[in-house]
Structure 1
Amino acid sequence: MITNIYAITAFAVIGGSLFGFDISSMSAIIGTTQYACYFNQGPNPESCDGPLAIVQGGITASMPGGSFLGSLASGIISDKIGRKTAVQIGSVIWLVGSTIICASQNIGMLIVGRFINGFSVGICSAQVPVYVSELAPPHRRGLVVGTQQWAITWGILIMFYISYACSYIDGSAAFRIPWALQMTPAILLFFALFFLPESPRWLAQQDRWEEAIDILALVHANGDRQDRGVRTVIEQLQSTCSTDHDASTSSYWELFSPNMIWRTHICIFVQIWSQLSGINVIMYYIVYVFGMAGLNGSANLVSSSINYVINMVTTIFALVFVDKIGRRPMLIGGGISLTIWWFVCAGLMAGYGKPAPPGGLNNISEESWSITGAPAKAVIACSYLVVASFAPSWGPISWIYPPELVPLHLRGKAAAVATASNWIFNFALSYFVPPAFEDIKWKTYLIFGSLSFVMTLHTFFCFPETSQRTLEEIEAMFKNGIPTTKTILGLEKNISENNNIAMVEDVEQSKVDSTHVEIADA
């Protein structure tokens, strides 16, 4: 069994790379002639106009649509059969969907395959962060859970270049080969999971304490069951389980009960805002954005690939500093930066842009917008800066945050609801952005700038700091009602003291009531 937390994370977050593979396999392919000719819906059967804008929105949105349902299902699956097995099921579903996509003969078949793939991504994207967060030590939790976002960026980058290389192949093989190759990470993930441990916190919830202690000792202390840190976590976990409900009897409705609704709204909105930041306008439709800026053909695809390199490289900043700086400062800083660059894009498009010429521009509808010269280069630069603002902040933290905020018995379901919120907004944006470029043109940028400003205010007033605390300490922090403004890292000493008092009281009570395990004999 693999017990090094970094090795566990490296294999587990392959589930995140599936989402990345899907993003760029569509982003790189929709701009190719082969795709446009094969799925042509233009008035001339011999033309290569590709699907209608609203149909292309539906094709792209079918994946997040499936992910929405997969996310909701994942909470039930994960609580019943375990975090690891849930992710393994997701990898099998991905293989089924990818097979259908690769063999697509028409748009309907393509949509069905992408919907099935989305169901897989919904399961994996919701439960991989839960699985990794429940294994990770508190001072490394941000790093290892945030690696899911880094895996997404690698998936985007790798598949984009594969798709770009295949764009030089004639006929439908240009897109069928990339769609077939995206099965590879799912196969690796499925077999690797046989060698990874189950979540010790899920095992504890199932009353399998000896296994839970063994795994915590192996992952945190090289197998030393008497290690002080391991014993502390087990005592906290025993206290939590003695007062917590059984996950199998909990329901989604409990997340919206009076004592949980505040936490649930934070879990949901950190994912909603990550979508309303507009990042997937850049990720899914970067070839459209750059097409409006005058790029076409290989120049467009190469410029788009730079965007994905920036995404991957700048995510490293979050992995290095998210546990040191904290969640709140990085989310607020990212929101401010996103606001600036979206408004700059809107101003450039409004001031220097004009309606596209008759016949369209660079495979973009004639009803869209165009900009040329130095302002066009500035739009391209701002698009890169949008990605560089999102990648080290909202990208990874939106996955880190939800599993940290809720008690053990609701963690799988909370992550499911939060991720489902991500995917339903992803679905809406994927579907409506192509028509938005046609209908409201440059004002699309204005919308995302305004939303980025609102999400920054929401974060400042409502989002607590969770860095460098165990999951059980975070639970005690909420039970003690510590205000958001007093959860910043500079005040962690007072919070830790309050949490320790609560933990001591809970542990003493659990020693009386618990029949789970004798810690002293562990």
Structure 2
Amino acid sequence: MFASKTSKVDRAAVAGASHLNNKVGPWWNDPGLRKLNFLIFIPLMSEYVQGYDASLINNFHEPKGSLLGILSASYWIGNILGVFFITPLSDRYGRRMAMFFGSIVAIIGTALCTGAINAGMFIAGRLLLGIGGVVVGAIGPVLVAELAYPSQRATATALSNTQYSMGAIVAAWITFGTFRLNSTWSWRIPSIFQALPSVCQAIGIFFLPESPRWLVSKGREDAALRILAHYHANGDREDEVVQFEYREIVGTIELEISAKQTKWSALWKANGNKWRVFIMVWFGICKQWSGNGVVSYYLHTMLNDVGITTTLDQTLITATSQMFSFACSVGFAFLPHRVGRRPLLLWSMALMWLVFTIITILTGVFTNTGSKSASYASVAFIYLYSGVHNLGWTGAMMLYVVEILPYSIRAKGIALFWFVTGAAGAFNTYVNPIGLNRFGYKFYYFYVAWIAVEFFVVYWQCPETKGTSLEDVALIIEGDKATISKANPVVEEFPEKTEPVSRVVTEHSGKVD
């Protein structure tokens, strides 16, 4: 579909990257980085709402079938509606205000769900949760990537997706404690706690600095330099790393604006952007259609299929499997800067295919023979599935979709990614319960085949982006047609050297002299 030849050429150019670092010793000994990384926890909570929602619905044992599908899909329909707020809010009013808006909407949605007196009111609340959740979920990783210290950007951005599992853990244990209640509080109490991260973010956002890249795009270069200096060099505006970052950001954004690359039409005009759009669409589909939609939202149905039917057993498995998933997601978030993005994505998909295939076989064995061994083994592989999914499609995936987008279309590209994710999620969560009710474990065959398709598309269309600055990724995607600044050093992640090697890049191109 898209030629991968350019990525190989550009990789050779990028290999001469400069090593930028002004830190000695661990980051927590540096006052600026210590404060910044503490504040970054605010946008890091952005995926909590979505993970909480998946686990909450998974622990609803009533209703069933189509109504359960509607309740599940309503959140994703809200996601689809919410993506239309992402670009105008984040590009016009800033990353922080977009997150504040999303948090307030999510709080209102939680209030409606908690006070619901009928299914319609509950669905309306979930729609608002979906709108607010997608705005926060989309902008959170972007703000993390645009604020993080260069050598820590990959890990920080990868960590942004780990809060999905944290939300799922909290929801699972709260429902474990309330499912015995013989009143509506059995589901109202869990609904209340879905607002926890939104309240924290709505308050905490006012202590968080704005994205320097957004400030530059609005002509506020001095404010951008002040933030970079304060957090990356403890106030030293003349610091070498800060000056490189600042010139890189200002130069590239000015070139993008002058080249009129800030409109929606830019998404389909240039071949490089068409490639990016394809990746956004494909990753949005992969995020939902890799079997994780069944494991996240309909784990209780999978457990029913292998003879584990008690509410206590199912709730315990849900809670503990999410704890395992969270541990894996946090641990694997430190891998992208070491081994790259592409290997993690591919190994994750290959292992997901293998594990999901084994789950399908074991479920079929139990269905046909009633084997207890097959039942217990299937549960073990359900746990394992969460681990292998997190290997690539939690941290590395979110990092990849953020960094391959240049600033001028970053919010638009992320909005497109979440639109496709929401559409795929809505279809997935509505169709899955129907398919599971009608076909049982044989419904898993679809995912076994589809994961294989996803693997080969990612293999052919996704180049490696490790070892580049946020601006310099354009070289890998577009080669000598990349629009980047003249003084545009590539920042290696976790560098060991401090001496920069200057590079000169021809204006409106990525050609290295």
TM-score range, shorter chain: 0.7 to 0.9
Structure 2 residue 398 is the aligned partner of structure 1 residue 386: no
Residue 430 of structure 2 aligns with an amino acid whose one-letter code is Y
Give the Cα separation in 1 of the matches to 2:103 and 2:363: 42
- 2:358 aligns with one of 335, 344, 351: 344
Contact 1:61 1:426 (C-alpha < 8 Å) held by counterparts: yes
Q: How much has 1:342 moved relative to structure 2?
A: 1.2
> 1:171/1:378 Cα in 2 relative to 1: closer, same or farther (>3 Å)?
same
Deviations 1:418-468 (A, max 9, x none): 122112111111111111112222222221122221222122211121223
Give the Cα separation in 1 of the matches to 2:250 and 2:123: 47
Q: How much has 1:279 moved relative to structure 2?
A: 0.9
Structure 2 residue 210 is the aligned partner of structure 1 residue 192: no
Report the secondary structure of 2:160's partner residue. helix
Give the Cα separation in 2 of the matches to 1:247 and 1:152: 38
Q: Which residue of 2 aligns with 1:225?
A: 237
> 1:62/1:374 Cα in 2 relative to 1: closer, same or farther (>3 Å)?
same
Contact 1:25 1:159 (C-alpha < 8 Å) held by counterparts: yes
Report the secondary structure of 1:471's partner residue. coil
Report the secondary structure of 2:391's partner residue. coil
Structure 2 residue 328 is the aligned partner of structure 1 residue 314: yes
Q: Which residue of 1 aligns with 2:178?
A: 166
Deviations 1:92-124 (A, max 9, x none): 001110111001111111111101100001101
| Matched ranges for 1:481-492 at <5 A | none
Bigger mean CA deviation after superposition, 334-343 or 158-167: 158-167
Q: Which residue of 1 aligns with 2:223?
A: 211
Q: How much has 1:246 moved relative to structure 2?
A: 7.4
Q: Which residue of 1 aligns with 2:188?
A: 176
Q: Please tell me the root mean square deviation across aligned C-alpha atoms, in Å.
A: 2.6
Report the secondary structure of 2:394's partner residue. helix
Contact 1:2 1:8 (C-alpha < 8 Å) held by counterparts: no
Contact 2:463 2:476 (C-alpha < 8 Å) held by counterparts: no
Q: Which blocks of at least 5 consecutive residues in structure 2 are unaligned?
A: 1-30, 483-490, 496-500
Contact 2:110 2:195 (C-alpha < 8 Å) held by counterparts: yes
Q: How much has 1:266 moved relative to structure 2?
A: 1.2
Report the secondary structure of 1:207's partner residue. coil
Deviations 1:461-489 (A, max 9, x none): 11121223111111233332599xxxxx9
Residue 142 of structure 1 aligns with an amino acid whose one-letter code is A
> 1:82/1:268 Cα in 2 relative to 1: closer, same or farther (>3 Å)?
same
Q: Which residue of 1 aligns with 2:469?
A: 470
Residue 53 of structure 2 aligns with an amino acid whose one-letter code is D
Q: How much has 1:394 moved relative to structure 2?
A: 0.6
Q: Which residue of 2 aligns with 1:366?
A: none
> 1:371/1:115 Cα in 2 relative to 1: closer, same or farther (>3 Å)?
farther
Q: How much has 1:75 moved relative to structure 2?
A: 1.5
Q: How much has 1:184 moved relative to structure 2?
A: 2.2
Give the Cα separation in 1 of the matches to 2:268 and 2:480: 18
Bigger mean CA deviation after superposition, 193-202 or 16-25: 16-25
Give the Cα separation in 2 of the matches to 1:475 and 1:207: 23
Report the secondary structure of 2:440's partner residue. coil
Q: Which residue of 2 aligns with 1:290?
A: 303
- 2:284 aligns with one of 247, 271, 279: 271
> 1:508/1:171 Cα in 2 relative to 1: closer, same or farther (>3 Å)?
closer
Contact 1:72 1:417 (C-alpha < 8 Å) held by counterparts: no
Aligned residues: 462
Q: How much has 1:248 moved relative to structure 2?
A: 10
Residue 266 of structure 2 aligns with an amino acid whose one-letter code is E
Give the Cα separation in 2 of the matches to 1:478 and 1:86: 28
Deviations 1:131-183 (A, max 9, x none): 11111233222211122211111111012101211112221011111111222
Deviations 1:363-384 (A, max 9, x none): xxxxxxx954111112212211
Give the Cα separation in 2 of the matches to 1:350 and 1:175: 33
> 1:242/1:185 Cα in 2 relative to 1: closer, same or farther (>3 Å)?
closer
Q: Percent identity?
A: 23
Q: Which residue of 1 aligns with 2:22?
A: none
> 1:424/1:409 Cα in 2 relative to 1: closer, same or farther (>3 Å)?
same
Give the Cα separation in 2 of the matches to 1:391 and 1:217: 34
Q: How much has 1:397 moved relative to structure 2?
A: 2.2
Q: Which residue of 2 aligns with 1:441?
A: 440
Q: Which residue of 2 aligns with 1:427?
A: 426
Deviations 1:334-392 (A, max 9, x none): 011001011112222334414xxxxxxxxxxxxxxx95411111221221111111012
Give the Cα separation in 1 of the matches to 2:137 and 2:267: 19
Q: Which residue of 1 aligns with 2:82?
A: 70
Give the Cα separation in 2 of the matches to 1:219 and 1:506: 29
Give the Cα separation in 1 of the matches to 2:168 and 2:311: 19
Contact 2:221 2:250 (C-alpha < 8 Å) held by counterparts: no
Give the Cα separation in 2 of the matches to 1:22 and 1:424: 16
Q: Which residue of 2 aligns with 1:401?
A: 400
Give the Cα separation in 2 of the matches to 1:311 and 1:98: 25
Residue 474 of structure 2 aligns with an amino acid whose one-letter code is E
Q: How much has 1:52 moved relative to structure 2?
A: 4.1
Q: How much has 1:249 moved relative to structure 2?
A: 8.6
Give the Cα separation in 1 of the matches to 2:424 and 2:407: 26
Structure 2 residue 46 is the aligned partner of structure 1 residue 22: no
| Matched ranges for 1:107-256 at <5 A | 107-245=119-257, 250-256=262-268
Q: Which residue of 2 aligns with 1:327?
A: 341
> 1:350/1:246 Cα in 2 relative to 1: closer, same or farther (>3 Å)?
farther
Contact 1:235 1:507 (C-alpha < 8 Å) held by counterparts: no
> 1:119/1:113 Cα in 2 relative to 1: closer, same or farther (>3 Å)?
same
Report the secondary structure of 1:393's partner residue. helix
Contact 1:62 1:111 (C-alpha < 8 Å) held by counterparts: yes
Structure 2 residue 374 is the aligned partner of structure 1 residue 375: yes
Residue 214 of structure 1 aligns with an amino acid whose one-letter code is R
Q: How much has 1:257 moved relative to structure 2?
A: 2.0
Deviations 1:251-303 (A, max 9, x none): 33321223310111112222321211111211111111112211212011112
Report the secondary structure of 1:225's partner residue. coil
Contact 1:9 1:147 (C-alpha < 8 Å) held by counterparts: no
What TM-score do you get using the length of structure 2 for normalisation? 0.85
Q: Which residue of 2 aligns with 1:359?
A: none
Q: Which residue of 1 aligns with 2:117?
A: 105
Residue 292 of structure 2 aligns with an amino acid whose one-letter code is I
- 1:8 aligns with one of 1, 14, 39: 39
